[in-house]
Amino acid sequence: MKKSYFITGGTGSFGKNLITFLYKKNLAKKIVVFSRDEHKQLELQDSIPKNKKKIFRFFIGDIRDKNRLNWAITEDIDVIVHSAALKQIPATEYNPFETVLTNIMGTQNVIEVAIKKNIKKAILISTDKAVSPINLYGATKLTAEKLFISANIFKGPSKTLFSIARYGNVLGSRGSVVPVFLKQDKESDAFTITNKNMTRFTITLDDAVKFVFDRIKEMKGSEIFVPKLSSYKITDLAKSINSKKKIKLIGIRNGEKIHEEMINPFEFNHAEEKKKYYKILPLKKIKNKILNNNLTYNSYNKGKFLSVKSLSQKIKANLKYFEK
């Protein structure tokens, strides 16, 4: 059954690809795009086939502006996908209150309007940076997660369900390291890496979109969905682009982790394991076998990493998504 979608951050990497997935698969009866950048909205409008344009509505707006959200989100919306956020770590560290206004206050605005309009489902797009955060971006996304989960309690008579999709670095998204390395391969003498021991999770845009879409169908409210992802060594990623190029170590940046964490030990205490993902639930909702609370799910502890060859293949397969 087709549904109506409202997508915050609809012109970002994830938002655009979710939109493309929905209209190409003929899965939406209405798509409302909400974002701040009028130029990117124009580019997106131009890319949509003429026979699909009738299902779209475009709103210029900021999630900080609750009144604008109130106008843009109508009662016929079935699903809100909340992907808008400030996410570049150096920028968020330098502009902390602006990050709070967008990632926390903006999220609360989305929640309150969703409840007011009695929207059926709302899902937050989160990040591994929200787990045991050491930077402001991660801290604000952790807070956004807490707001989304708590909304299931304070929503009153509203039937809106709030859940979260949390995953790792998206291959080819705006601000990811691959486009930086591709540019350095053409223009610089060496790849710049902050720490040679660094590891990261990875997911393609296509897989991220499919993961979120599938979780929207099954969500009951209060879940944090976490996919089982491959991880890689940052040095291997550089080698996958050019194995002969030098690597220059520049020192770890403020707010940067050596290894990312997707689920912390406490969360494993109330997590259910599925074939391709984990589902973290409030303690009171756990019915099945509880996982070992000594576990942790980070980009290093599995001990298996994507090979240089596999990384090279993934990059080539996803070149269309990289910023030029």
We report the CATH number of the domain holding residue 99 as 3.40.50.720
Question: What is the percent of the chain with per-residue pLDDT over 70, rounded to a whole number?
Answer: 93
SS3 labels along the chain: CCEEEEEECCCCHHHHHHHHHHHHCCCEEEEEEEECCHHHHHHHHHHCCHHHHHHEEEEECCCCCHHHHHHHCCCCCCEEEECCCCCCHHHHHHCHHHHHHHHHHHHHHHHHHHHHCCCCEEEEEEEHHHCCCCCHHHHHHHHHHHHHHHHHHHCCCCCCEEEEEEECCEECCCCCHHHHHHHHHHHCCEEEECCCCCEEEEEEHHHHHHHHHHHHHHCCCCCEEEECCEEEEHHHHHHHHCCCCEEEECCCCCCCCCCCEEECHHHHCCEEECCCEEEECCHHHCCCCCCCCCCCEECCCCCCCCCHHHHHHHHHHCHHHCCC
Sign (positive or negative) of CA dihedral 161, 201, 176, 323: negative
Pairing of strands 261-263, 297-298: antiparallel
**Range 54-61 average pLDDT:** 97
**Range 110-124 average pLDDT:** 98
The tens digit of pLDDT for each residue in 242-268 reads 999 999 999 988 888 999 999 998 888
Q: What is the pLDDT of residue 178?
A: 87
Judge whether 247 lies within some domain: no
Torsion of CA 61, 207, 227, 26, to 10 degrees: 70
Higher pLDDT pick, 292 / 304: 304
> What is the band of 193 on the pLDDT scale with cuts at 50, 70, 90?
very high
Residue that the structure tokens 């309009």 belong to: 117
**Whose CA is closest to 126, among 114, 138, 112?**
138
Q: In the predicted model, is pLDDT for residue 222 greater than 70? A: yes
Judge whether 214 lies within some domain: yes
Residues 125 and 21: their CA atoms lie apart, in Å, by: 16
Judge whether 296 lies within some domain: no
**Range 164-179 average pLDDT:** 85
**Range 269-295 average pLDDT:** 74
Judge whether 209 lies within some domain: yes
Asked if residues 148 and 162 have their Cβ atoms less than 8 Å apart, the reply is yes
Residues 48 and 82: their CA atoms lie apart, in Å, by: 21
**Whose CA is closest to 284, among 217, 204, 234, 221?**
221
Higher pLDDT pick, 281 / 79: 79
Judge whether 182 lies within some domain: no
**Range 221-228 average pLDDT:** 96
**Range 52-73 average pLDDT:** 97
Q: CB neighbours (10 Å) of residue 43?
A: 12
For residue 285, indicate whether it is catalytic. no
- Given the residues 121, 129, 155, 314, select the one marked as catalytic: 129
Residues 217 and 120: their CA atoms lie apart, in Å, by: 11
Question: What is the count of structural domains for the chain?
Answer: 1
Cβ burial, residue 114 (10 Å; 0-12/13-18/19+): buried
Q: In the predicted model, is pLDDT for residue 94 greater than 70? A: yes
**Amino acid identity, position 307:** S
**Range 24-40 average pLDDT:** 96
**Range 191-195 average pLDDT:** 94
Judge whether 224 lies within some domain: yes
Domain span at residue 136 reads: 3-171+202-229
Paired with 199 in beta bridges are: 233
Question: What is the percent of the chain with per-residue pLDDT over 90, rounded to a whole number?
Answer: 76
Q: What is the pLDDT of residue 324?
A: 45
**Range 288-307 average pLDDT:** 71
